[in-house]
Chains A and B, each alone.
Chain A
Amino acid sequence: MSTDLGIWLSALLSLAAFSFLIKENKFYNIAESAFIGVGTGYAFVMAWSNIQSKGFGQIAQGDYLTIVPVLLGLCLFGKMSKSTAWIGRYPAAMLMGMGSAIAIRGAVQSELVRQIAATCVPLNSVNNIIVVVGTLATVSYFLFSMKSTGSQLSGGINALSKLGRWVMMVSFGAAFANATMQRCAQLIDRLRFLFEEWIYLIR
């Protein structure tokens, strides 16, 4: 069995977290609070060191333009009081506007043009047929304006959208299976730690 205090602490906290599987209890609550506290503390330290090195540090070295983002960042604290909340709207507006613009800039080409191009494939293999039909069927599921007109066209789109629902269910199933696989990996990691590094059962 390990004599390392850090491993003992980690092992006991792991067991406390696992105890939730029986029922919620004080040990689990302690582990949960410790996890949230440590995570928040770590994130705060990282953010502070980031501000120091990339904010104040740069100003101290003569990069006075950095004062602008630092001031805008400080303005966000205005939201802590109702009377000064308006000050925080300016940096918040900039954050949202710039964030959206940066995301949209690459999205049109990478997620629209290139993805459409990737579905324009010759129908010479089962895989390609599944890609093309599956994509069309899924997109048709989201055509809400043409489904209830009673025409032959709307009947065809209805049938295609039903297929689209099945395609989405298959993809959700794959996503769920992968999520299960990830949870298994996390459990394996913890059990390996407990039985390998703590009580030396695994060699």
Chain B
Amino acid sequence: MGAAPNDNTGKKGISRQFMYLLTVLAILLPLVFPVGMPVSVTPWVEKGYQHVEKLNPGDKVLISFDYSASGAADIHPAAEAIFKHLMDKDVKVITVAFVAEGNRFPGMLMSAWEEQGKVYGEDFIHLGFLSGHETGLAALFADIPGAAPVDSRGNPVTSYPIMDGVKTVADCKMFIGLSGGNPGPQQYVRQLEPYQGVEIFTACTAAIAPTVEPYLASGQIVGLVGGLKGAAEYETVMGYAGKASANMDAQSFAHLLVIGFIVAGNIIHFTSKKNEGN
């Protein structure tokens, strides 16, 4: 089963299907039989947590849900953890989505918290989907009730107590961007440049996390939760084990397997090259 023709070259190698099977097993076994591998917390997650921790009850935070269903597996656990942190601290949350599919995620979080006694319109509000990506961001930051006159439930946003005194993004203490691509950290930083008092905290897919590093180094973004691993770190620093932490064993085993594939691939490559030379 292991040795089969390579699809591209016709040379003998490890069959793709065998590699897929190993990957599924490497993920499935730790899910069924968890081993509880430790999760180390990176400084950027710790810093993001500390900045949220410094918020006072009643402070307002704007969160943008800019990820689609395909990115949800990587970002939504972070969204849950950060939302929980904000709710625990009684921070008022205003949400919006600049990606159409992202529009459904705030409602999922809010309905769970409504069951626990939080009130829509007082503790949180969802402004709905706004089109335009970066131009939409600029419009919302400059005039929140103007860019989003009605919320996701079809009522005027100014009719909700949470929107009292909220005119621009400068009336919020923090902007949290949950991004799977565009708009993403680059767009958030660009459009929040005129609003220096608003801290930017971002959670994004692991794929775009390295592009955020320059903004962290310059202090333009105060914290980064990168992908599922970042979400597990955020849960760890909050002191609870949620969905992300539960998946970390599987993630670690999958990475070990990928490293094994890379090593094996290189060994096969160089061995076959040597044999060809002989």
Contact = CB atoms under 8 A, between A and B. Distances in A.
B100 A106 contact: no
A128 to B, nearest CB: 10
Contacts of B229: 181
Contacts of A47: 100, 131
B79 interface: no
A102 B258 contact: no
B194 interface: yes
B150 A188 contact: no
Contact of A46 (B70, B129, B150): B129
A98 B132 CA distance: 11
Q: How large is the interface on B (under 10, 10 to 19, 20 to 34, 35 or more residues)?
A: 35 or more
B171 to A, nearest CB: 19
Interface string B251-262: 100110010000
Given A110-B193, A184-B27, A184-B255, A53 B135 contact: no
Given A181-B229, A181-B251, A182-B227, A188 B193 contact: no
A115 B227 contact: no
A196 B32 CA distance: 9
Interface residues of A, number: 49
Nearest to B154: A53
Interface of A: 21-22, 39, 42-43, 46-47, 49-50, 53-54, 57-58, 98-99, 102-103, 105-107, 109-111, 114-115, 117-118, 131, 171, 174-175, 178-182, 184-192, 195-196, 201-202
24 contacts: A22-B17, A39-B69, A43-B101, A54-B130, A54-B149, A98-B135, A102-B135, A102-B191, A105-B190, A106-B192, A106-B194, A110-B189, A118-B214, A118-B218, A175-B210, A179-B207, A181-B227, A184-B250, A187-B24, A188-B228, A188-B251, A189-B72, A191-B24, A195-B28
Given A103-B187, A182-B207, A191-B250, 11 more contacts: A53-B150, A105-B190, A106-B193, A118-B214, A175-B207, A178-B209, A179-B206, A181-B228, A181-B229, A184-B254, A192-B247
